[in-house]
Structure 1
Amino acid sequence: MILLTGATGFVGSALTQHLQQQGHTLTAAVRRVTDSLPSSVQQTPIGDLLPDTDWTPALHNVDAIIHLAARVHIMHDTATDSLTEFRRTNTAATLNLAQQAAAAGVRRLIYLSSIKVNGEHTAPGQPFVASTSLSHHTFPPPSSSGKGAGGEGLSDPYGQSKQEAEQGLREIAQQTGLEVVIIRPPLVYGAGVKANFHNMMHWLHKGIPLPLGNIHNQRSLVALPNLIDLITTCIDHPAAANQTFLVSDGEDLSTTELLQRLSHALGKPARLLPIPQSWLETALTLVGKRAIAQRLCGNLQVDISKTRDLLGWTPPVSVDAALRQTVQAYLQSQR
């Protein structure tokens, strides 16, 4: 029996369908029973994800847990102490689940973390590896606003709460024998993707000119089917126990190349203006959009050689195939 948290989310919904197709027996821990999950999925209401949530009803006969539920980035966060709120859900509530799982005899817990545990950007030709994390950096701690001393820092509250959860999970694994598997994805895209990726498809589909035709960065992404395949691989793979894995499509793209390939998938011309990258970065920084400049122009590469070598895993879906699937879902949603 697999217990899944976050089953109604972007990753969770697709993972639920995949696990059922693979013949796994699945129960979804939900805040309350919902119609958004297939009727064939057993639902166990556990209320909110809190540091003192009682998981007893959900842990009966569970062999493995896939923990996706989390407090994610909120564009206009109204919390007076953002770091405390992230820690409450992403750290304390996660460790509470792990402790109760270990006591109930659960064999393995797969934790979906974030590449933000490694940081926000990489130097050219120096991708992140699984052994590096925020704990190895000496950046100032984030303030309650979610920004370090320099504004948008590597150690934002979300990344810090995920890193602290990872550390606590490793300690629980050592103390109890619960097998912990940690997966750190970069940006995930696929059918139903929202936020900035969805906006990019919308702008390209509408033929809106974008000043992004001369960006020479390199960024790792992961398609939803590839992430799901890795999660599924880690359920039973003996070499996955107590390991941390980075995941990507295995092909890094510049922002310009990503937009060009998205346009091709859409069947639309890419109206990308060749504005010099330095001009774009300066302009965005001057108007207080330094974080956006970093995401559009900066590097963020991950090295998945450990994932490949230890698990014998290869991303099953190519970038272009994944972009076509993403675009098809977007176009259907526009009809």
Structure 2
Amino acid sequence: MKSILITGFSGFVGKNLSTYLSNYFSQITPLSLRNSDWNINLKGDAIIHLAGKAHDTKNTSDSSEYFKVNTDLTTQLFNAFLESEINDFIYFSSVKAVADEVSEILFEDIVSNPKTPYGQSKQKAEQYILSKEIPEGKRVFIIRPCMIHGPGNKGNLNLLYNVVQKRIPYPLAAFENERSFLGIDNLNFMIKEILQNKNIESGIYNFADDEFLSTKELVKIISSVSNKENLSLAIPKIIINGIAKVGDLIKFPLNSETIQKLTENYKVSNGKIKSVIGIKKLPNSTREGLEKTIKSFIK
């Protein structure tokens, strides 16, 4: 395999993945779906479809936009793939395409029940892909990553980092949760293994690091790496939930969805992808990946 086409090339994952894969493949090419002629003379060995509308936690986006981008564009791209001579199609969906809450551990065979337009748009794209017969010689992968982080990422980890730096006490230490993270280095490694190993069969694969961590533990790691005192506070949950309801009404950052994301249990199994790759552990531990990300904030 030599030529890899990547949509969403300019995004956080796209930049990191393209740089990483360039060490193993001779040609990494951006594929912009904004160009009207993107589907003309589509050639390559694999398509990695990263482009999409991300989840808006402030809920200010029009619901229809999620379906236009995450569902309709994916459908068009997948149809073009089926008609092309390209062998592999890797679609980056999301764990949120199947579940907004996880009571135990999320496996690939869960019955999908997304609640948000973001998750529903990703689910519909998955359903379309799975409804099509795959021609002989082609492989199709649906990747469901959990929360991705790494150097250059400006998501919730950066928000928590700024809280620690400003010596604002983390108020949610009363919540005991376990959740999965996905370091960009582990993501890159798993995609490279899929592309290189033709014995890995088409299917749905969760992407997550090996270990689970609580948000409270995450704040401790951020404090330790940045040499700041851990000022976490265990404010009673009933008070926090009251603040969240007020935040919902006045569009305050500390709203119900933000608190849920910070305190929810969301454990994702990565056993299936490790099994087909043939490994027991991913290259980087959860803590190692988080420490690398946090150090990049300091720089």
TM over 0.5: yes
> 2: distance between equivalents of 1:47 and 1:193?
26
Opposite residue 9 of structure 2, the aligned amino acid is A
Q: Cα RMSD (Å) of the superposition?
A: 2.1
Matched residue, 1:55: 39
Matched, 1:7 2:32: no
Partner of 2:72: 92
The TM-score, its normalising length taken from structure 2, stands at: 0.89
Q: Distance in 1 between matches of 2:73 and 2:136?
A: 18
Which amino acid in 1 is paired with 2:286?
A: V
Post-superposition shift, 1:47?
A: 1.4
Distance 1:266 1:213, change over 3 A: same
How far has the Cα of 1:281 moved from its partner?
3.0
Contact 2:45/2:87 (CA < 8 Å) preserved in 1? Answer: yes
The answer on 1:105 being equivalent to 2:85 is: yes
Determine if the alignment matches structure 1 residue 323 to structure 2 residue 283.
Answer: no
When residues 9 and 238 of structure 1 are mapped into structure 2, their CA distance, relative to the original with a 3 A threshold, is same
Cα deviation for residue 241 of structure 1 reads 2.9
Q: Deviations over 1:4-52 (max 9, x none)?
A: 1111101000011101122442111136xxxxxxxxxxxxxx517xxxx
Percent of residue pairs identical: 30
Residue among 27, 30, 33 paired with 1:28: 30
TM-fit CA distance, 1:293: 2.3
1:223 counterpart = 2:183: yes
Q: Which residue of 1 aligns with 2:46?
A: 64
Higher relative contact order (CA 8 A, sep 6+): 2
Matched, 1:233 2:208: no
Aligned pair partner of 1:294 in 260, 265, 280: 260
In structure 1, how many angstroms separate the alpha carbons of the residues matched to 2:172 and 2:59?
A: 29
CA distance in 1 between partners of 2:29 and 2:240 (Å):
48
Q: Deviation at 1:176?
A: 7.0
Aligned mate of 1:121, from 94, 101, 107: 101
Shift of 1:73: 2.2
Partner of 1:170: 130
Q: Which residue in the other structure is 1:141 paired with? A: none
CA contact 1:201–1:262 (8 Å) conserved in 2? yes
Tell me the amino acid that sits aligned with residue 109 of structure 2: S
The amino acid that maps onto 1:266 is S
Quickly say closer, same or farther: Cα 1:322–1:132, change in 2 above 3 A: same
Partner of residue 204 from structure 2, selected from 244, 255, 262: 244
* Partner residue, 1:257: 217
Contact 1:112/1:184, CA 8 A, preserved across alignment: yes
From 152, 160, 163, the counterpart of 1:200: 160
Amino acid at match of 1:325: K
CA distance in 2, matches of 1:316, 1:196: 23
Any conservation in 1 of the 2:57–2:257 contact (CA below 8 Å)? no
- Over 3 Å counting, the alpha-carbon distance change for 1:63 and 1:318 in structure 2 is same
Q: Please name the residue that 1:142 is paired with.
A: none
- Number of matched residues? 290
Query: Alignment partner of 2:212: what SS?
Result: coil
4+ runs of 1 displaced by more than 4 Å?
A: 75-79
CA contact (8 A) 2:171 2:234 kept: yes
Amino acid at match of 1:47: N
Tell me if the contact between 1:208 and 1:271 (Cα under 8 Å) persists in the aligned partners: yes
| Cα drift, residue 246 of structure 1 | 0.7
CA distance in 2, matches of 1:185, 1:199: 20
Matching residue's letter, 2:40? T
Match in the other structure for 1:303: 269
> 2: distance between equivalents of 1:74 and 1:305?
29
SS at the partner of 2:125?
helix
Q: Is the 8 A contact 1:5 1:66 kept in 2?
A: yes
